[in-house]
Amino acid sequence: GKGEYDHFMLKEINEQPTALAQALEGRIDPDTGRIALSDFEPGTFEDIESVQFVACGTSYHAALYGSLALNQAGVQSTALLANEYSVSAPPIDDDTLVVAVTQSGETADTLNALRHAADEGASTVTVTNVVGSTAAREADEALFIRAGPEIGVAATKTFSSQAVMLTLLGQRIAADQRGDPSADRSSLLAELAAMPDAIEDMLAVSDAEAIADQYANSQSYFFIGRGLGFSVALEGALKFKEITYEHAEGFASGELKHGPLALVTPDTPVFAVFTGEEDEKTLKNAEEAQTRGAPVIAVCPADHRAVEVADEHLEIPETDSDLAGLLANVQLQLVSYYAADLLDRPIDKPRNLAKSVTVE
Ligand code: F6R
């Protein structure tokens, strides 16, 4: 049941420290501090030349997160919408690894993409929450995120668990490609191990409810970010529209001036996600919105320069730049939750949506 919580969504947001601890359990060797993925021993991916992630919705945003992190680690990778894959997949061969990211493991679009990839000769991995799901059974290998059951239709803890598992998998692939399987980024792995506590601390003092309160009844809600922060901006907006029924959109920070700025008014709050990737540019983009009267809510650590510039601040703990977006996303989940609650929406079961989408 929901226990002390009014909704499963809030319960599941608060379960993230536990979910991530479960995801990480036994997967970072406590003695060496290195990745220990039992099905993916060092060297597993040494022949892989490129990685394609396929997924839908929130899982696509996690896939984008994983793909951008992999690119930054020097591995050629793309994230593709599974429902576009049959018409727009880049060339696939037996040096291609295709990673299906699907919480349920039953999403028809994602299964189709996985089957297409296998037909073309790719190696396949499924990252999923459901042991025994179709995607887990059909891929060459499966990596389970162990988030526990997610009842709310809006995916929350599974996004975070996917992001963590894709970070670990990505580091394994990058180390294999460098031909130095033991060259894990130990500082990143240490910060990963610290994620459950970091989220716990952040949840205990979040200002998300006050911010949702303050900006309720705005006309539209915009979310901007760069790099990994861009995937978080997309996810922040999807969650917001899904459960509040208000208009929300996510943009790459730098794209704001290429069109969307025409929509920016004092009635369109802008959530700016700072993940350490060219933050000065993102801040400048946020200031452009501010000049048009839009309130800017900076999602960043306490000592970040954006705090002085922005109208409001949602604080995230200091961490590795690969993980800051994950923390920012948790704050945005809370903003969506409280905004939807104020509007009295059926948070756990938004209209027209289903937890598992088994049609094309
Ligand atoms: C949004 C949401 C959906 C799913 C999408 C894919 O909150 O939950 O966008 O992420 O339908 O589902 P899975 O991950 O089961 O493939």
* 179 token code pair: 């031909």
Per-residue pLDDT of the chain (360 residues; tens, 9 = 90+): 899 999 999 999 999 999 999 999 999 987 877 889 988 988 999 999 999 999 999 999 999 999 999 999 999 999 999 999 989 999 999 999 999 999 999 999 999 999 999 999 999 999 999 999 999 999 999 999 999 999 999 999 999 999 999 999 999 999 999 887 666 677 899 999 999 999 999 999 999 999 999 999 999 999 999 999 999 999 999 999 999 999 999 999 999 999 999 999 999 999 999 999 999 999 999 999 999 999 999 999 999 999 999 999 999 999 999 999 999 999 999 999 999 999 999 999 999 998 888 888
Ligand 1 atom 3 nearest Cα: 57
Rounded Cα distance, 101 and 249, in Å: 23
Measured from the CB, is residue 334 less than 6 Å from ligand 1?
no
Distance 290 CA to ligand 1 centre (A): 33
Distance 17 CA to ligand 1 centre (A): 21
Hey, what amino acid is at 306?
Answer: A
**Are the beta carbons of 72 and 96 closer than 8 angstroms?**
no
**Are the beta carbons of 315 and 301 closer than 8 angstroms?**
yes
Measured from the CB, is residue 242 less than 6 Å from ligand 1?
yes
Atom of ligand 1 nearest to the CA of 158: 14
Distance 57 CA to ligand 1 centre (A): 5
